[in-house]
Structure 1
Amino acid sequence: MQPHLLLIFLFLPILLPGMWADPEAEPQIIQYLLTSHFANISSAEVSSVALIGDIPILTLDSANWSIHFYWPWVSQAAAESDVEKLMSQYKIGLRNIIRFVHDIVQQTEEHYPLVVQFRTGCVLYPNTTSQGFLNVGWRGKDLIAFEVDKQHWEARQPSQVAELVSKSLNKNKSVRVLLKHLLSIWVCQSNFPTLKRYGRAILERQELPVATVFTRSPRLDQLLLVCHVTGFYPRPISVAWLRDGQEVPPDPVLNSSPILPNADLTYQLRSVLAVAPRDGHSYVCRVRHQSLGTHSLLIPWGSIVWNGREMENSSSAIEAWDQGLLPLEVTVCHLEVAFPLPIFFLLLARATAVCEGKSSISTGSEQN
């Protein structure tokens, strides 16, 4: 895996922790991530990537520090923001950083190899206010942070290195003033809005979730209901199990995987509910996502499947199906305890296909 892509996957769990939130209320973030690996006193390898949210927009070639733009619109925005001129100064800054780190190692009890990380950018809040940031990590832990409003470096750990670095950087007032200007004015008020304007189609795209419900039987007295949701974007999503129309509360029998990235810049996760076989209850997997608007995607276990219609229980799904409110492309799969046999034939008569192989959204047992 390329170093800049590895950076994205390492930072995603930290930068995007929430499963579900109102998209309109979420802050937007642009960040530049830089990792420097110092093998010895004469070696330094730098990897860097910039992202808006979880979308990579540019990388820095570790061999010659040249810039690679991921999208044509990033290049257009860069031309308007005069990024090339700024990046020439950035290269000078990189050389100074490398020299500074080597000096710190010599002045302290630090040793090689050593990894130093930088994270800088801007957070834009829904009320249109913004906040620039610049954080430095040392051997995988927070070292110092630049307080933009105070124009001051502050230690983030009680160590000799943190105290020495923050004290040294605070001596240069002109650099601190320049950093405040770059973060508050250039990044937050110029660079970020320009990139958002040029990249609106990519940054605001939405992809519908694709859901599958199937079962696992790890032992005779337990049945695992698995709701697998994939292909959705943006990342925030809500996946819940309904038992007889009521949401199953947090419980040891209910487990969800982390939200994981797919290769096509979409996401996936699984929600697993442990139940007793033939317990007499009905179960529905409910998916809520920005791309669905005010609707919910409900997939009853062992029953029909559809997308984009909000139903609160299986009986309302039958009513909507019978009234033609659900798309005819849906597929009927294994119908087990969820519906009586007559309803099965009603659904089968209205369906256009029988569950054979894969469908965009399906229920029943997982196909191997």
Structure 2
Amino acid sequence: MRPPCHCVLLLLLLFHLSGTWADLDGSFTVRLLQTSTFQNNSFVDTEGLGLLEDIELGSLDKHTWTIRFHQPWVRPALPRSDWDTIQNMIKIYLQQFSYLVNEGAMQKEVPYPFVVQCTAGCQLYSNMTSRIFGYVGYNGQDFLSFSVSNGSWLLSQDTDLSRYVQAFLQNYTAFSELVEVLFNDTCVDDMELLLQYGKAALERREPPVATVFARTPGPAQLLLVCHVTGFYPRPISVAWLRDGREVPPGPGLNTSAVLPNADLTYQLRSVLAVAPRDGHSYACRVRHRSLGTRSLLVPWGSSEVVLITGIGAGVLAAVAVVAIAVLWVWRRRKRQQMEVSESRNSILSNEA
């Protein structure tokens, strides 16, 4: 079956738009997602989406096979004539894709309906190098993956159909040539132009908001929950501190995956299981690009949120000890003053 290779062709067409990004701070990944549902040999429903990290650059109008721009700065990045060329190439690609899939389905007696999914893209680094990847799915299951090291397709499931597609892709020399043009020319040549238009979106920073609360699933267990939300970009570090020292990974510590919010920010939860009244102090520490060198520190049992700058766990513990000592001395002195005052009042009362 020939069709999966043509997912890469669509990627090439849209990479004039999305695959030419250099990195402002680390690396960026560009992905093209394609889902084609074949109801029968005469009807196919195709959806396509181009992403830069989590930014939706554009999508495919499945009725007209034209590009819909999701960001105001995407269309001006290229001349109108270039967009016309890209859209014409997309229409040609989709016609060929549908034809070749149906042809392969007939040869291998694949029953309708079925779904072909493709994910392809590249990760671009600040030193102008790149890493490419490609995955093919069939009916919601991994089918093939692309190996960058030797330029070959690997079986994700060993079936007669997957071996048939793998053999075709290995012999499709035009694929290698197109990839070479893409990464040696397009990604590098258009990089500065696209950065100029998308820089503000790529540099967007939203600071996290963190809260700590507790749950008691049983009398012998206390679950401390650190909920962090509203942050952008996605990378974030969340850790628990016990008496100022970071809690190492273990069965009692469970941190969720980063999940999207409706406002294009992210959230996650970190849950720490502790024994009730164990005598330790706990705090949730959050590090994020929007905070710079500072960290967000939310102690358990306190509504106060603290921003700390470059303070290590040992220093935090020492500060806590000093604060407790100062508070103890202050209370002792106050108690002594109250005892002296009460003694004086008693003497004066006796004299009267």
Give the alignment's TM-score, normalised by structure 1.
Answer: 0.72
Of stretches 242-251 and 192-201 in structure 1, the one that deviates more from structure 2 is 192-201
SS in 1 for 2:250: coil
- Deviation string 1:11-55 (CA, Å, 9 cap, x unpaired) is xxxxxxxxxxxx987431112111101112221000010010111
- Deviation string 1:218-249 (CA, Å, 9 cap, x unpaired) is 22222221111101111111111111111111
Q: 2:198 matched to which residue of 1?
A: 199
Which structure ranks higher in relative contact order (CA pairs < 8 Å, sequence separation ≥ 6)? Answer: 2
Amino acid of the structure 2 residue aligned with 1:118: C
Q: 1:19 matched to which residue of 2?
A: none
Note closer, same or farther for the CA distance 1:158–1:221 as it changes in structure 2 (3 Å cut).
Answer: closer
Checking the alignment, whether the CA contact within 8 Å between 1:32 and 1:120 is kept in structure 2 is yes
- Deviation string 1:152-199 (CA, Å, 9 cap, x unpaired) is 66655433323333444555545652343135422x224555333311
Amino acid of the structure 2 residue aligned with 1:83: W
Task: Tell me the CA shift for residue 265 of structure 1.
Answer: 1.1
SS in 1 for 2:211: strand
Note closer, same or farther for the CA distance 1:144–1:251 as it changes in structure 2 (3 Å cut).
Answer: closer
Q: 2:345 matched to which residue of 1?
A: none
Of all paired residues, the percent bearing the same amino acid is: 47
| Distance in 1 of aligned mates of 2:270 and 2:153 | 43
Q: 1:305 matched to which residue of 2?
A: 304
Note closer, same or farther for the CA distance 1:315–1:68 as it changes in structure 2 (3 Å cut).
Answer: same
* Equivalent residues, number: 301
C-alpha RMSD of the superposition: 3.0
Checking the alignment, whether the CA contact within 8 Å between 1:300 and 1:314 is kept in structure 2 is no
| Distance in 1 of aligned mates of 2:153 and 2:273 | 50
Note closer, same or farther for the CA distance 1:166–1:215 as it changes in structure 2 (3 Å cut).
Answer: closer
Q: 2:233 matched to which residue of 1?
A: 234
Structure 1: tracts of 5 or more residues without a match: 1-22, 321-338, 344-368
**Rg larger in structure:** 2
Q: 1:358 matched to which residue of 2?
A: none
SS in 2 for 1:309: strand
Map residues 123-202 of structure 1 onto 2, 5 A cutoff: 123-144=123-144, 157-169=157-169, 173-174=173-174, 176-186=176-186, 188-191=187-190, 193-202=192-201
Give the alignment's TM-score, normalised by structure 2.
Answer: 0.75
2:299 corresponds to 1:296: no
Greater fraction of residues in helix = 2
| Distance in 2 of aligned mates of 1:276 and 1:178 | 59
Q: 1:30 matched to which residue of 2?
A: 30
SS in 2 for 1:199: helix
Greater fraction of residues in strand = 2
Of stretches 54-63 and 160-169 in structure 1, the one that deviates more from structure 2 is 160-169
Checking the alignment, whether the CA contact within 8 Å between 1:240 and 1:285 is kept in structure 2 is yes
Q: Displaced runs of 4+ in structure 1, greater than 6 A?
A: 147-152, 317-320
| Distance in 1 of aligned mates of 2:142 and 2:153 | 13
Note closer, same or farther for the CA distance 1:241–1:171 as it changes in structure 2 (3 Å cut).
Answer: closer
Task: Tell me the CA shift for residue 118 of structure 1.
Answer: 1.8
SS in 1 for 2:79: helix
Of stretches 174-183 and 48-57 in structure 1, the one that deviates more from structure 2 is 174-183
2:50 corresponds to 1:41: no
Amino acid of the structure 2 residue aligned with 1:208: P
Note closer, same or farther for the CA distance 1:90–1:29 as it changes in structure 2 (3 Å cut).
Answer: same
